[in-house]
Every structure is written in structure tokens, then in C-alpha cells.
A and B are shown apart, each in its own frame.
Chain A
Amino acid sequence: MSAVANTPLPPRAPRARFQGSHLAVHGILIAYTLIALVPVLLVIANSLKPAGDIFTSPFSLPTPHHHDFSGYNTVWTQSHFTTYFTNSLIVTLASVFLVVLLSAMTAYALAEYDFLGNTFLALFFALGIMIPIRLGTVSILKLTKSLGLLDGTGVLGTVFTDRYAPLVALTLVYTAMGIPLGVFMLSQFMRQVPKDLKNAARVDGAGEYRVFRIVLPLVRPGLAAVAVFTIIPVWNDLLFPLILAPGEKTKTVTLGAQQFLGQFTSDWNSVLAALTMAMLPILALYIIFSRQFLAGLTRGAID
């Protein structure tokens, strides 16, 4: 070691290194990217092919002349996919809206005001990041049942009717589930907003609610990260739709796909089409928001 240390090496510019090692890096990364993507692409490509081709040439691609939409047709006519999509959209959008708004309000108050119990409240909310909400399933079912949200009875249930009451139950559970991480992430963003800016607004006569509305656009990257973070687990969840909204009219896409796939096991066209339809919205969303999503995961370490 010490002998080597005596011979100073010239500092190397990052780009001027031996290219061979870069080739190896690309090789491994491409190989792993294929491992990650091929199973997904295999399903998408084969969903568009005639049933025979799925088995005889699974790795061939569908062409404009050689394709088959019958799987999509079956899914569309044999199941209520439009209803499932609508339900998933309602639940996801409502949950995201509530999580982002309520978390932002709480994070703002926790970061901005120094009051008795501030640290306690921050810890109280942070607790929910560690403990999975699923462990409360038994009581969540009892609670939503007693509120009449499962069958549309009671005061709350009648307001929303049995068509929407289970979706309200799901939304409330997902909102509660998303708030801890939302508060935690947005607190970090809220603390970075300069104090001078808020005080300047106050000097100009803005009330506390107005100041909050001025701050909100400044933490937009944080809001986007929280939104994406809420959308993915909510859209993908199976357990709570299975327990709280199993009715045909109230199923979400994930549950609908799961049960459709269980019934149509031998119809490969339809199975692959249903899988593709269930994953495309989230894939599109991820591709659009991947930067915010990954930045949120690394708490801003990615530019």
C-alpha cells in the first residue's frame, strides 16, 4: 500500500477512462434490463397474436398483417372492465386528491408553526410509515360495516348508495394509508421554502391560509412525488378491494383482473389481453412521471 501511495497518479477525467470496462457495464445493464422487461413484453406481444402462435412461436412479434384482437374482445364483452376501470379511477383519484391535500396541510403546519405537541404529532404520523395498515383489517371491516359503507345502509351508506359506498370506504382507507408517508415527505419539502418569502406575504397582509396557498405551488415536485406514490399502491392493491368492495359493481381493475384471470385460465388470448389492459394505465403513468417518482424515492437525490 504505502509503496504505491508514493507514486502519485495523475487525476483522471471522468470520461477519459478505458472504454472496455464501459462496454462490460453496458452489457450487464442491458442483460438485466432484458430480465426485467422480457416477461412483461412477452405478455403484451402475445396478447395481440392468434392463439396458436402463442404456443408455437412465443417470441415472435405481432405484425399489422398477423395479429388477433379476440382476447381484448372477450375481456371487453365477458367482463365489466369499463366498470372496473371507472371504479379504480374514482378510488385512485379521490385518494390521491385527499392524500396530497391533507398531507400538504399537515406538513405545512408541522414545518411552519412551533407549537406544543408538534414533535409528538410528527412522530404520531410517522408511526404509520412503519406499521402496515393491513394488520388492522379485522377492525377496518367492522368499522366500515358499522358505518354502512359496505352495503349502502346507514346515514353514510344511503348518501352514497350501494354503488359508491364501498368505493368511499376504500378511499378513506387508502387516504389513511397514504397520509403518513405524504406528511413525512412533504415536511421535508415544506422546510425548504424560505421563511422570508412567507413573512413577505404576511407583511403584504396575507392570512395564514393565503400563505399556505402561496407555498403550495413551490413544493410542486413534492406534491407530484406524493401523488405518484399514492397512485401506484392504491391502483395495484388487491386485499382491500377483495374485502371491502367485492361486489360486481364495485370491483377495481386489480380485483376484476384477478377474478377474470381465475375464471378464464384456459383462454390464453383473453388472459394475456386482460393482463395487458390492467397494466397499461400504470405503465403509461410511470413512464410519464418516472423522474418525479424516482426523485421522491431518493428524497431528491436525483436531480
Chain B
Amino acid sequence: MTLPETTIERDLSMESDRLDPSGSAAYGRRTFRQRMRRIPWHVAVFILPAFVVYTTFMVYPLLDSLRLSLFDDAGKFVGLDNFHTLFFDETFSKPFWGALEHNVVFFAFHSLVQNPIALLLALLLTVQGVRGQNVYRTLIFVPTVLSVVIIGFIWSRILSPLWDLPLVHTSAPLGSETWSLPSLSLISVWQWVGIPMIFFYAVLIAIPHDVIEAARIDGAGSWRIFRSVTLPLILPMLGIITIVTFIANFNAFDLIYTVQGALAGPNFHTDILGTYFYRTFFGFQLQPGSDAMGATVASAMFLIILLGVLVYMFGWARRVRTYEF
């Protein structure tokens, strides 16, 4: 059977008509039934279920949260008053800016500690001719698949002065105003380092061996090869990793909540936007919960994340050259 290629190429609704002997009707006038058949029902059947669930339980709540931030708890439209309260009213603004500052520190630890470790591990995992690299790769990734709750409890036990482990012997860093945030950041780095590691790894194993070999024949040493060949090739991935980490960090919640509770102690010194949102929405000892202010904090987080994504898209992704092999 020969198919009328030229017409079906663009016209998907013809898919079922093709084999129909009366498919020639497509060239003439159509009856109602044929018109109905032209509507690609199957496409709708394939897409609609996912579309409905995704729209109802993700897109709508996100948009509705943005909308709620413009109303007060009684449902009265108040414009940007809630944001004014969040940014300038002492009771809300002080913890908000504090949480934002802690979140920046949290993110800085991830960028500055996690990425170099991840890159080093990925480089070692791709050294030619070393055996057992798959085993290392799988095992190093283990903390990443575990629940943040589990990780939080494991570390709060290990760092606990009660256990007094020989190698730790610390003065309870999680209870210290100075050291609790760095400690929690490093716990998070310890858990998530597998993600950037595997992303770097994917780029590194995709670099053709010829490119490295050519550089070596030109007399480049290992460091020179890394700086002039490998680094430019992984720069686009560094951008992706940074923005993924940024998004994850700015809506992190579980670790702080598990280890320090909703009050993000000691004395709010580990409070980040996620825990601040939780307290604002549900309330705590000193303050009743508020839908409107909760939605406002969530919207502020949304704007911060959006800002990060825009900076990444226009400030980084456009300027960094991506090489394809």
C-alpha cells in the first residue's frame, strides 16, 4: 500500500485515515463524522490526565499562592501591603531578612564546598584505567538517596556531645550560635554532593578521548589539560548545577526542621526561608499562623528563585559557550 506522504506529514489527524480506503475523502468535502474524526481525540486522551493533575495540584496552587499574597486573611484585597509588612514591619522583616541572610550563607557553603569536592570526585571517577570506579560511584551516592530526616538525625547523633565519638569530641556545634549554620550547611553538602558529582561525571565521560590525547601530544600536562580543555567543557554544567542547587537551597526545609525544629535554634540562628515560611503559615508560640502572610513569604521565595533563574538564563547561560561533540 502506498501512503500519500505529502499530506500526512503535517496532518496528524490523518494518521487513522491513511489506511482507510475512503481516505481519499480528505481531498474532497467532509461529512460531519469525518470532521469529528479529524479532531485528534487520541492526542487529548494522551495528554489530558497529566495536564489535569499537574494543573490542578501544582500550577493552580502556585498561581493561587501568588494571588493570596495580595489579600488579607479576611479575604480583602490589600494590594502589596503584605509585602510591605514582610519587608518593613519589624515583627516580620527582622526574621525574614535574617532567614534570607542565612539562606545565602547556606547556598554559599554549597557552591564553595560542594562543587570543588564534586568535581574532584568526578575527575577521579573518570581517570582512565582505574578499576572499580562504578562501585565508588554507587557508594558515594548513597547519602543522596536517603531522607533528609534520616541524615539530620544521624548527624545530630554523631555531633551530639552525649555520644562523644573519638573523632568528633566537639563542644556541640549544633547548639552553638556561631557553628550551627555552618555545621548544618556541611551536613547538607555531605548529603547532596552526589548530585553535582554525577552531573560533572556525565560531562567528563562524554569528552572524546581524542581531544585530551591531542592536548597531551601538544605537550600539555595534566593541570594544563584540566585548565584549558576540561574546565571550558564543564563550565555549562557548572551553571546548571549552581542553579539547581540554588533552587533546592532556597526552598530547603526538612534538614533544619528535623535537627533544630521549627524555631530553627539556637535563637533562630539556623532559620532559613523554608522554616520561616512554615512558622509564618502555621504559627508558633509567639505568633498565630496566617494564610496571607504564609502566601506572601512563599511568593517572596518564588520571586527570589525566579530572579536566580533569570540571572542564570541571561547572565550565565547566554555567555558561556556550550560545546557539542
Contact = CB atoms under 8 A, between A and B. Distances in A.
Contacts of A55: 162-164
B211 interface: no
A232 B157 CA distance: 23
A172 B57 contact: yes
Interface stretch (B76-84, B88-96, B126-134, B316-324): B126-134
Interface stretch (A60-68, A70-78, A108-116): A108-116
A11 B213 CA distance: 8
Nearest to B49: A102
B60 interface: yes
B116 interface: no
A132 B147 contact: no
A254 B257 CA distance: 13
B121 A29 contact: yes
Contact of B199 (A39, A108, A127, A298): A298
B46 A212 contact: yes
Taking chain B's interface residues, is the majority helix, strand, or loop, or is none over half, making it mixed?
Answer: helix
Nearest to B150: A279
A132 B162 CA distance: 37
Interface stretch (B23-31, B106-114, B171-179, B246-254): B246-254
Contact of B147 (A14, A35, A282, A290): A282
A236 B148 contact: yes
Interface of B: 1, 10, 12, 15-16, 18-19, 40, 42-43, 45-47, 49-51, 53-54, 56-62, 64-65, 68, 117, 120-121, 124-125, 127-130, 132-133, 136-143, 145-150, 153-155, 157-158, 162-166, 190, 195, 198-199, 201-202, 205-206, 209, 213, 216-219, 247, 251, 253-254, 257-258, 274, 277-278, 281, 291, 294-295, 298-299, 301-302, 305, 309
Contact of A1 (B12, B195, B206, B219): B219
A154 interface: no
A79 interface: no
Contact of B150 (A42, A115, A134, A257): A257
Contact of A236 (B60, B120, B147): B147
Contacts of B218: 1, 4-5
A258 B206 CA distance: 41
Contacts of A114: 10, 12
A29 B43 contact: no
B140 A282 contact: no
Given A138-B294, A140-B57, A9 B205 contact: no
Interface string A209-245: 1001000000000000000000010011111000000
B57 A297 contact: no
Contacts of B198: 294, 297-298
Interface string A118-137: 00010011011011111111
Interface in A17-72: 17, 21-22, 25-26, 28-30, 32-33, 35-37, 39-40, 42-43, 54-55, 58-59
A139 B65 contact: yes
Given A179-B50, A275-B153, A301 B202 contact: yes
Contact of A282 (B145, B219, B277, B309): B145
Given A22-B127, A115-B12, A173-B57, A35 B190 contact: yes
Nearest to A6: B219
B143 A36 contact: yes
A29 B130 CA distance: 11
A9 B221 CA distance: 12
B147 A278 contact: yes
B47 A257 contact: no
B143 A139 contact: no
Given A176-B53, A238-B254, A32 B121 contact: yes
Contacts of B132: 26
List 10 A-B pairs, minimum CB-CB distance, nearest first.
A136-B61, A4-B219, A298-B202, A176-B57, A236-B147, A109-B46, A139-B61, A102-B50, A139-B64, A176-B58
B202 A105 contact: no
Given A33-B139, A114-B10, A132-B247, A25 B130 contact: yes
A239 B254 contact: yes
B92 to A, nearest CB: 16
A268 to B, nearest CB: 8
Most buried by A among B53, B68, B258: B53
A155 interface: no
Contacts of A39: 143, 154-155, 158
